[in-house]
Structure 1
Amino acid sequence: MIVSSDDDLTRLKEIGHICAVAVKTMAAALEPGITTRELDQIGRKVLEDAGAQSAPELCYQFPGATCISVNEEVAHGIPGDRKILAGDLVNIDVSGEKAGFFGDTGSSFIVPPVTPKLERLVRDGKRAMWVGINQVRTGQPMANIGNAIGTFARKNRYTLIQNLASHGIGHSLHEEPKELATWPDPDETRIMEEGLVFTVEPFLSIGGLWAEDGDDPWTLFSEPKAPTVQFEHTLVVTRNGPIILTLAD
């Protein structure tokens, strides 16, 4: 999507804010003993109370309002009876739709007690996302995003999941530009246009290189098996840098 009016931007900010509040509210409820289904119901209520609906349900018939991935799960975890335990690494990914506009955001959290290794991974996962976001500007190569994140990962001795990409968004959940790499991709030759809407969502890992299917049609696991975090914002490209759409505050 290319933002063409103030109304477009207002509506994108509205659904982005709703998704961000859902993540924040779900994160505040994270504690040992809560199930991923109960956590999902909290996110669903935030969306529905704001007049929005779950994008993965709407677009793909996903069996839940939100994606909740725990420990060995990298992405697209299905809400269910799994109980959150102390020390778990939990990714919460919320995408929603309202009035024909879509937003998408996610963050990873650790349920205390926190080990130094995972604390550093979560901290650096957020830093990796911002390293990529800071490359966003009209007229710049899209490859700058993956190159910058790749440099950050190598410098700090991490790996990146290289088959879970960022994506265009706006009037649908996934649209052009599709498959926007958050790792160095020599084949990426596209240029960022003024008003273009897309996500930046690197998957930073301590050894994982790929996301592979599990036993159900949705949940993805790292290969090799390794702790992995994801942080994601939806943004708009401008000449002055990015406008972040998925802010809770």
Structure 2
Amino acid sequence: MIVSSDEDLTKLKEVGRLCGLAVKTMAAALEPGITTAELDMIGRKVLEDAGARSAPELCYQFPGATCISVNEEVAHGIPGPRVIAAGDLVNIDVSAEKDGYFGDTGSSFIVPPVTPKIERLCRDGKRALWVGLNQIRTGQPLANIGNAIGKFAAKNRYTLITNLASHGVGRSLHEEPTELSTWPDPDETRIMEEGLVFTVEPFLSLGGHWAEDGDKDAWTLFSEPRAPTVQFEHTLVVTKNGPLILTMVE
């Protein structure tokens, strides 16, 4: 969507803040022994107490309020009886709707003890997100985002999952502009418009190139080849001064 009124921006900020708060609250509860279903209930309560609804449930009948992906799972992990263990790499992805507006955010976390390699991967996953965000400005090519993230990944000897793209968001969970590459894409020719709302969400990996279905369920995705992978995501509005990030919380 394109932000066209103060009401648009106010409503987008509110649902974005709730998504960020849900991730923060869930992350604070992340410890060995908690199940992904219990984590999901914490996120659900944050959203529902504020009058918001889970976007994956609302839009796609996803079997959970949030997506929680552990270790070998790259994205869209279903909350359930899986018990979080020390050393696990956990991705929490929260998207929600309130008053007809949508937000989407996610982060990866390590449950101590932390190995240096995975600690570096998480640190650089955040850096990759900000490398992309720093390319955002009205009138600039959307391709700048993927080109910058791709350069960062190559320089630091990482791979990127190249079939999980960023996307437009605002009046629905997934809308125009669709399939926003967070990797170099020579076919990307679109330009960032003032007020355009979308996500940036690179999947940085220690060897994975592709996300594929497993035999676990109809939702959970795994890297091919299997490799530790992190995702960090924000929803933003394009402005002439750079990105206005909607899903950041203190």
Q: State the secondary structure of the residue aligned to 1:103.
A: strand
1:29 paired residue number: 29
2:228 paired residue number: 227
Give the letter for the 1:136 counterpart: I
1:16 paired residue number: 16
State the 1:106 CA deviation: 0.1
Is 1:204 aligned to residue 199 of structure 2?
no
Instruction: Deviation per CA, 1:191-214: give whole Å up to 9, x if none.
Output: 000000000000000000000001
CA distance in 2 between counterparts of 1:93 and 1:76 reads 8
1:236 paired residue number: 237
Instruction: Deviation per CA, 1:62-116: give whole Å up to 9, x if none.
Output: 0000000000000000000000000000000000000000000000000000000
Q: State the secondary structure of the residue aligned to 2:24.
A: helix
CA distance in 2 between counterparts of 1:29 and 1:239 reads 38
1:133 paired residue number: 133
How many residues get paired? 249
Show the 5 A alignment for 1:95-174.
95-174=95-174
Q: State the secondary structure of the residue aligned to 1:78.
A: coil
Is 1:217 aligned to residue 215 of structure 2?
no
Displaced runs of 4+ in structure 1, greater than 2 A? none
State the 1:19 CA deviation: 0.4
Q: State the secondary structure of the residue aligned to 2:171.
A: coil
Q: State the secondary structure of the residue aligned to 2:97.
A: strand
Normalized against structure 2, the TM-score is what?
0.99
Normalized against structure 1, the TM-score is what?
1.00
Residue ranges of structure 1 left out of the alignment (5+ in a row):
none
1:245 paired residue number: 246
CA distance in 2 between counterparts of 1:57 and 1:192 reads 30
Residue ranges of structure 2 left out of the alignment (5+ in a row):
none
State the 1:6 CA deviation: 1.0
2:63 paired residue number: 63
> Percent identical across equivalent pairs?
85
Is 1:43 aligned to residue 71 of structure 2?
no
Instruction: Deviation per CA, 1:30-79: give whole Å up to 9, x if none.
Output: 00010000000000000000110000000000000000000000000000
